Amino acid sequence: MTLRAALCVVLVSVLAGCVSSGGSNPMSTDKGRDAARQAYVQLGLGYLQQGMAEQAKVPLGKALELDQDAPDTHAALALVFQREMEFELAEQSFQKALAARPHDARTLNNYASLLFEQQRYQDAYTLFHKAAADNLYPERSRVYENLGITALKLGQPETARGYLVKALRLNPKQPRALLEMAELSYQDRQYVPAREFYDRFSLLSGQNARSLLLGARLAAVFDDRATPASHGQQLKRLYPGTPEYQQYLSEQ
């Protein structure tokens, strides 16, 4: 479907919904305009999820024409700008969204993720904390996972452990949190829980350079002689130029 056709579908669906409820000219009412704006925002996010950031701007621009101040429109635009690595524009859009809804957990979490991407870890940590304060936010486990990972970047492993444990209590199927806990447990020489966390991670996610190195190390601890070689072969084949592969070679 072309962008023009998609926009037409949005308008037709909004108009049909308003007419069915008795409205004669839906765009002349606040309710009708807001319904159209929300539909444009969803269309923009749909394009973004498909990796079509440029196309996403068209319906989001239409949404802004209907309401310049709607926070969800600015929050969606921030994600588009972030995808395009227009970090200053993304930050401005997040700030506009939060000016209207300063305690919105989703926007706080997304804004913090932008700051994390820019290696502004302390600022990100502060915003993740604010997002975690909303105990009804349905993705709160992700916020705690983000807090844990940010705490690691700030050199606070014990604080990170607490957040990661909280994240896994809320949602035990978070691969990143499981891998971080496996790594922390290995570093503390708690090899049995490290292997348990690692096995749970492996059931949920494909391997990456870091997890392959950790898997080889754990296999060596438990004298599983075949696994380190297998992981080493995967590192050589998939991640030959990485620090993880060089570290694997140095440990053999």
| Chain segment 181-211, per-residue pLDDT in tens | 999 999 999 999 999 999 999 999 999 999 9
Cα–Cα dist 114/111, whole Å? 5
Handedness of CA 232, 238, 240, 245 (dihedral sign): negative
| pLDDT at 15 (0 to 100) | 46
Task: Find the mean pLDDT for residues 210-238.
Answer: 89
* CA-wise closest residue to 195 among 217, 173, 210, 168: 217
| Chain segment 90-104, per-residue pLDDT in tens | 999 999 999 999 999
Residue-wise over 201-213: b if at least 16 C-beta within 10 A, else e?
bbeeeebbbebbb
pLDDT over threshold 90, residue 162 = yes
Q: What is the DSSP string of 176-218?
A: HHHHHHHHHHHHTT-HHHHHHHHHHHHHHS---HHHHHHHHHH
Computed over every residue of the chain, the mean pLDDT equals: 90
| Chain segment 211-223, per-residue pLDDT in tens | 999 999 999 999 8
Cα–Cα dist 84/82, whole Å? 5
Cα–Cα dist 93/79, whole Å? 9
Amino acid identity for residue 238 in this structure: L
| Chain segment 26-84, per-residue pLDDT in tens | 666 778 888 889 999 999 999 999 999 999 999 999 999 999 999 999 999 999 999 99
The distance of Cα 249 from the centroid of its chain, to the nearest Å, equals 33
